[in-house]
Amino acid sequence: MKMTKIYEGSHQWIMFGRDENKPSNIIDSNQYAVRTANKCLLMDPGGSELFAPMMAAILHHAPVEQITDLFASHQDPDVISSLGLWDQALSNAKLHAPALWEGFIRHFGCESIEYVPIPDNGGTIKLENIELQLIPAHYLHSSANFHVYDPQAKILMSGDVGSALEPAGTPMFVENFDSHIEKMRYFHQRWMPSNHAKRAWIERVRNLDIDILAPQHGRIFKGDDVKHFLDWFDALQVGVAV
Amino acid sequence: MNIQTKSQFVAVASITSELSAVMVVAKEISLAAANAKAIAFRAGDKAKGFQPITDFINELAKETIELVTSINVYALSLYQLTVNEYRKTIAYNKFELITELSKGAAYARSMEEPLEKAKITMENCQRQFKRDVKQLLDQLEAVMHHARAARVIAANSRIEASQAGEYLQSLQAVAESVDKAAHTIHDNVQRCRIALSLYRNN
Ligand SMILES: [Fe+2]
Ligand SMILES: [Fe+2]
């Protein structure tokens, strides 16, 4: 599991991904952690196959008892099917996940972890002295879906939005936006169901000050590429399977 | 899932299916008992010896049904225990793998406590499973006992039927069906016990 620090300030953002030992038939995913002095939040902690390598990687940054918060942007197995294992490892943790999906996500096993349901209009996650915003991203692609915005680090963790399907060992950051487009097009056209939902999200996100857009698959967007992505996504027709 | 776990799932799941077959047959016995009672009543004095037997058959069928109902509840909880044990074992194995993978990590030692806890939980599950299997085997033994008793009664019924003149055939048919049913119950329960006994001591 590769680890990349994508923000270092009063707290840290760490990205985990490109696991060399991942079976080739499961989709590669990016996991993110926010680390404060005494706490650690994991965002989209991943599928059950990833649990052991993820935990082992996090132990480079935080002890297990300081992993106090998990976040699931939506209900997909690549996002949170590891929950049943975290549930047995963490003794004092909360899972922030869409209220709408509670009865579904609990199928993965959620006994000792407290499920904190996120209402449709969003909310916040407090981690010691920082406050992260939960931005609604419904129907992108899941019917109840949230992204995490950190106003201090200016990072938007954007779940499946901005994702690209790429071969193993791909670099962490988008280097050439134009050549990256083809790797994202089909994913967004096919997985994202609604132009209307896309419009609403873009309007909301254009009001945020974003330096880094961090998706759950593929590469991270930095600086001007964030704007490039929003413009490209704005013009794209989605929901093409019908 | 390894072969041991897989067959444990199958063994536990098969109990419920074998028992539902036992249930059907026990209901057949109870029906045969009602039938026999009617015939014995019509036969009057000729089937005097048969009348108490029909009550006995009926009682036995009822007890078997009750026993199987309670065993079914037990089998379901055993199934849940199997699922639980499977989950705990997976977690423990993953935690061990983490210990391996995190060698040299700054906070590697913080996994020691969860690992130890997972080990204890897993072992408790395994112990409880063995305990519950033993209890279930005892209950199944009780059903077998009932089945054996039913066969003895069937044999007695045949003797009594032979005194019943023109009712001989119909009473013999009753004895026959009780015997057959008891035989089926015996076989089904025996299969459950063989499947389960693998897990009693290992
Ligand atoms: Fe998804
Ligand atoms: Fe995904």
Q: Tell me, what's the pLDDT at B1?
A: 66
How many CB pairs below 8 Å do chains A and B form together? 56
Between vectors from CA B119 to CA B117 and to CA B121, what angle results, nearest 5°? 70
Q: Evaluate whether A151 touches A207 at the Cβ level (below 8 Å).
A: no
CB contact under 8 A, B118 and A88: yes
Average pLDDT score over residue span B121-134 = 91
A165 touches chain B (CB under 8 A): no
Shortest distance, CA B2 to any CA of chain A (angstroms): 17
Q: Evaluate whether A64 touches B114 at the Cβ level (below 8 Å).
A: yes
Which alpha helices (DSSP H) does A101-221 contain, by range? Answer: 102-105, 177-191, 195-206
Does the structure show a pLDDT above 70 at A157? yes
The answer to whether position A29 is within a domain reads yes
The answer to whether position A24 is within a domain reads yes
* Nearest-Cα residue of chain B relative to residue A50: B94
**Ligand 1 centroid to A28 CA: how many Å?**
12
The answer to whether position A240 is within a domain reads no
Q: Evaluate whether A57 touches A16 at the Cβ level (below 8 Å).
A: yes
Ligand nearest to the CA of A31: 2
Shortest distance, CA B102 to any CA of chain A (angstroms): 5
The answer to whether position A147 is within a domain reads yes
CB contact under 8 A, B111 and A52: no
CB contact under 8 A, A60 and B107: yes
A12 confidence band (pLDDT: 50, 70, 90): very high
Nearest to B110 among A53, A65, A109 (CB): A65
Average pLDDT score over residue span A167-172 = 88
Q: How far is CA A131 from CA A41, A63, A153, B94, in A?
A: 12, 21, 11, 32
Does the structure show a pLDDT above 70 at B201? no
Q: Tell me, what's the pLDDT at A175?
A: 96
CA B123/CA B127 separation, integer angstroms: 6
H or E segment to which residue B112 belongs: helix B112-161
**Full residue range of the structural domain in which residue A230 is found:** 2-235
For residue A141, say if its preceding peptide bond is cis, omega within 30 degrees of 0.
yes
Q: Tell me, what's the pLDDT at B156?
A: 86
Nearest to A59 among B90, B105, B113 (CB): B105
Spell out which residues of chain B touch residue A107, defining contact as CB-CB under 8 Å. Answer: none
CA A62/CA A42 separation, integer angstroms: 11
Three-state secondary-structure class, residue A110: coil
Which of B40, B36, B76 lies closest to B60 in space, CA to CA?
Answer: B36
Does the structure show a pLDDT above 90 at A207? yes
The answer to whether position A242 is within a domain reads no
Spell out which residues of chain A touch residue B114, defining contact as CB-CB under 8 Å. Answer: 64, 88-89, 91
CB contact under 8 A, A91 and B105: no
**Ligand 1 centroid to B27 CA: how many Å?**
51
Name the pTM for this structure: 0.85
Q: How many domains does chain A have?
A: 1
Identify the weakest region by mean pLDDT among A37-41, A61-65, B168-172: B168-172
B95 touches chain A (CB under 8 A): yes
Chain B 146-165, residues with CB within 8 Å of chain A CB atoms: none
CA B115/CA B119 separation, integer angstroms: 6
Residue B35, token pair as written in the block: 């039938």
**Ligand 1 centroid to A105 CA: how many Å?**
13
Does the structure show a pLDDT above 60 at B98? yes
Q: Tell me, what's the pLDDT at B50?
A: 79
Identify the weakest region by mean pLDDT among A213-222, B35-44, B87-96, B133-142: B35-44
Ligand nearest to the CA of A44: 2
B178 confidence band (pLDDT: 50, 70, 90): confident
Q: How far is CA B158 from CA B36, B64, B146, B187, in A?
A: 12, 22, 18, 22
CA B81/CA B129 separation, integer angstroms: 7
Average pLDDT score over residue span B6-21 = 83
Q: Evaluate whether A87 touches A111 at the Cβ level (below 8 Å).
A: yes
Region of A56 (left: φ > 0; alpha: ψ -120 to 50; beta: rest) is: alpha
Q: Tell me, what's the pLDDT at A187?
A: 97
Q: What is the mean pLDDT of chain B?
A: 88
CA B39/CA B51 separation, integer angstroms: 9
CB contact under 8 A, A53 and B108: no
Q: What pairs with residue A12 in β-bridges?
A: A8, A35
Average pLDDT score over residue span A166-190 = 94
Does the structure show a pLDDT above 60 at B202? no
Ligand nearest to the CA of A47: 2
B26 confidence band (pLDDT: 50, 70, 90): confident
B83 touches chain A (CB under 8 A): no
- Indicate the pairing of strand A114-118 with strand A155-157: unpaired
